[in-house]
């Protein structure tokens, strides 16, 4: 009954760590003593920010750290200390990012970016852009995040900020990793690691060790992956980061399990469980239980596997860890179904479905949050440009007023210019409304597709239960449930999508077919997805295909649209139709 286990690894480059509270209290007490000796407010701000940046304080308890950052921001605002204000807002944004409060984090990042641009403070602007890129990465918008990381990298290189360069290179590598371009990701991780090791940036060194280990693991180069995980573990042991130690040891256990070294894997999972239990980290304790279950299951020790899957399920239900619930319930359903114990399996099937529904809703909320953040950010940028343009107009009018001989000519010119800007603003407003409709259309499509896939999967499982049921009453009941599910599957999903798409983008299909009549129905659907500015990853998730298959389809589409030898962007081309 052995099964191939899929390796799931955590990239630790962007994970926050915890330190023991007592140690944090000693360090903060020392900072308070230092601050009492400083009279200049701006120097106090610098002292706080320097304290928060020190390596040993990177893993301080979040509530203490954000308290100091808030204090630095308040002092900076009172004294109008611009550099301190920007750096404090970047710190605040990073802490809210760690709390998964992405909207609040974006607000601080955007304020820091705007102030940096206004004051032409390029080092601070680079850090602001990096924070915005991190937020977009967390929301799965890798195209946007890469743009911000490359912009920040350019500024870090201009000012020869080696630590910033290393960080930006690692972030770009993470985007390639998320795009499944692992060779390219490793190139950037290696560059980042080389700079960090040359300058002895311990936090960056550890971050790149973990990133490289994750990439090598996906490439199934397990021996190399373990070497890098062990190096990261040595650093975590040295600095006393027990959370990081637990993650490293658990990842080593994943590799051992996938290599069939079940005894060594169980030992690693036991060590990581002890660390997470000491930290009272319930989520990772539940993950350890799952690991035990998979390890026992892969060696045909079913009863021990069942016991640990039930422990993981209990933690998941208690703490609403829907991914844990879905995995544990799915394995219990599978084990009992394989044993022919359908009555025992059915409750776990229901739990798996309920957890799946909750996971889908969470993903939908993340997608909506992503669209909302993009909308708010673009709206804020538009308003800022409008404000700046208004200021320019006022300055222009004042200057023209001082030149008496050009008053009439200047007023006429300004009036015409204002009309042009109002027309442009109205045009952008219409385009913004259309973009919102596009996003609503995308969310509706996701709901339709996921509902169809989920109901089909459940129907198939019920069919399996029906074939294994012994009593006529059980068979009839399962058949009835299956029929009701089948009736609810929306076979006209894409017809409804096409109809809604035509309402928002009237004439799009007709114009395409008029110029390119050889386009197939699947290619027309791909054109519609791209017209909604969806990435290959998003399309793959919606259609159930591999990202590589979508990329190949995009290449063939470029050929049919006569863009194969052109540098024209495919999405830009379709948006102009």
pLDDT for residue 347 is more than 60: yes
Interatomic CA distance for residues 193 and 159, integer angstroms: 19
pLDDT in tens, 410-424: 677 777 777 767 777
Q: Are 534 and 553 in contact (CB under 8 A)?
A: no
Residues 6+ apart with CB under 8 A from 206: 12, 232, 235, 236, 244
Quick: pLDDT tens for 190-234.
999 999 999 999 889 999 999 999 999 999 999 999 999 999 999
pLDDT of 4 above 50 = no
**For all residues of the chain together, what is the average pLDDT?**
83
Query: Which comes out higher in pLDDT, residue 36 or 513?
Result: 513
pLDDT of 265 strictly over 70: yes
What's the pLDDT tens digit per position in 226-259? 999 999 999 989 888 888 899 999 999 989 998 8
Residue 220 exposure: Cα atoms within 13 Å on the Cβ side: 4
Domains and CATH numbers, the chain: 8-152 (1.25.40.10), 360-488 (no CATH), 505-575 (1.10.10)
Q: How many CB atoms lie within 10 A of CB 4?
A: 6
What is the mean predicted confidence (pLDDT) over 271-282? 91
Give CA–CA dist 355/350, Å, rounded: 9
pLDDT band at 261 (very low <50, low <70, confident <90, very high): very high
> pLDDT band at residue 144, thresholds of 50, 70 and 90?
confident
120: left (phi over 0), alpha (psi -120 to 50) or beta: left
Whose tokens are 């992405």? That residue is 102
Query: Residue 10 pLDDT more than 50?
Result: no
Note whether 352 and 465 are within 8 A (CB).
no
Q: Which residues of 263-273 are buried (b: 16+ CB within 10 A; e: fewer)?
A: eebbebbebbb
Q: Closest Cα to residue 210, out of 5, 17, 18?
A: 17
pLDDT above 90: residue 455: no
Mean pLDDT of 287-293: 94
Radius of gyration in angstroms for the set of CA atoms belonging to the chain, rounded to a whole number? 28
pLDDT value, residue 71: 92
Q: Over range 172-193, report the average pLDDT.
A: 94
Q: What's the pLDDT at 29?
A: 67
Q: Evaluate if pTM is beyond 0.85.
A: no
Could you report the per-residue pLDDT of 66-114, keeping only the tens digit for each? 888 899 999 999 999 999 999 999 999 998 887 778 889 999 999 999 9
Q: With a cut of 60, say whether residue 507 has pLDDT above it.
A: yes
At residue 556, does pLDDT exceed 90? yes
Q: Are 159 and 122 in contact (CB under 8 A)?
A: yes
């Amino acid at each position: 009954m052995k099964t191939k286990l899929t390796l799931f690894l955590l990239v630790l480059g962007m994970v926050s760590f915890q330190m023991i509270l007592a140690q944090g209290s000693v360090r903060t007490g020392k900072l308070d003593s230092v601050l009492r000796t400083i009279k200049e407010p701006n120097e106090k701000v610098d002292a706080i920010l320097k304290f928060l940046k020190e390596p040993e304080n990177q893993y301080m308890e979040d509530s203490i750290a954000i308290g100091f950052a808030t204090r630095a921001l308040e002092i900076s605002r009172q004294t109008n200390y611009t550099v301190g204000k920007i750096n404090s807002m970047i710190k605040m944004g990073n802490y809210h990012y760690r709390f998964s409060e992405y909207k609040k984090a974006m607000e601080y990042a955007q304020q820091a970016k705007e102030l940096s641009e206004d004051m032409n403070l390029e080092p601070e602007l680079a850090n602001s852009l990096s924070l915005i890129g991190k937020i977009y990465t967390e929301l799965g918008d890798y195209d946007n995040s890469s743009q911000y990381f490359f912009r920040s990298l350019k500024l870090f290189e201009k000012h020869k900020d080696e630590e910033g360069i290393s960080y930006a290179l690692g972030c770009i590598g993470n985007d390639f990793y998320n795009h499944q371009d692992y060779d390219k990701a490793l190139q950037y991780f290696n560059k980042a690691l080389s700079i960090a090791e040359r300058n002895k940036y311990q936090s960056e060194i550890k971050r790149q060790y973990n990133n490289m280990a994750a990439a090598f693991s996906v490439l199934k180069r397990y021996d190399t992956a373990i070497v890098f995980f062990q190096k990261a573990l040595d650093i975590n042991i040295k600095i006393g980061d027990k959370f990081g130690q637990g993650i490293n040891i658990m990842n080593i256990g994943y590799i051992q399990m996938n290599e069939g070294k079940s005894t060594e894997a169980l030992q690693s999972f036991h060590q990581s469980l002890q660390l997470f239990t000491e930290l009272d980290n319930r989520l990772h304790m539940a993950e350890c239980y799952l690991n035990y279950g998979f390890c026992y299951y892969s060696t045909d020790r079913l009863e021990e596997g069942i016991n640990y899957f039930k422990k993981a399920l209990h933690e998941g239900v208690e703490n609403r860890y829907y991914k844990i619930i879905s995995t544990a319930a799915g394995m219990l359903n599978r084990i009992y179904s394989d044993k022919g114990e359908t009555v025992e399996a059915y409750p776990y099937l229901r739990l798996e479905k309920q957890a799946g529904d909750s996971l889908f809703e969470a993903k939908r909320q993340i997608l909506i949050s992503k669209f909302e953040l993009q909308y708010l950010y673009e709206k804020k940028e538009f308003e800022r440009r409008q404000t700046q343009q208004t200021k320019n107009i006022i300055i222009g009018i004042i200057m023209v007023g001082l030149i008496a001989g050009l008053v009439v000519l200047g007023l006429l010119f300004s009036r015409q210019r204002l009309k042009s800007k109002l027309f442009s603003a109205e045009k952008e407003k219409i385009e913004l409304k259309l973009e919102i409709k596009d996003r609503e259309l995308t969310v509706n499509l996701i709901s339709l597709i996921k509902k169809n896939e989920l109901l089909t999967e459940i129907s198939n499982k019920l069919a399996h239960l029906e074939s294994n049921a012994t009593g006529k009453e059980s068979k009839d009941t399962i058949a009835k449930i299956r029929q009701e599910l089948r009736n609810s599957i929306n076979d006209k999903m894409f017809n409804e999508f096409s109809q809604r798409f035509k309402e928002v983008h009237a004439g799009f299909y007709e114009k395409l077919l008029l110029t390119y009549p050889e386009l197939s129905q699947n290619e027309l659907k791909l054109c519609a997805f791209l017209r909604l500015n969806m990435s290959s990853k998003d399309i793959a998730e919606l259609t159930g295909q591999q990202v590589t298959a979508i990329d190949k389809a995009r290449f063939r589409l470029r050929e049919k649209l006569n863009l194969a030898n052109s540098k024209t962007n495919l999405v830009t081309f379709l948006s102009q139709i």
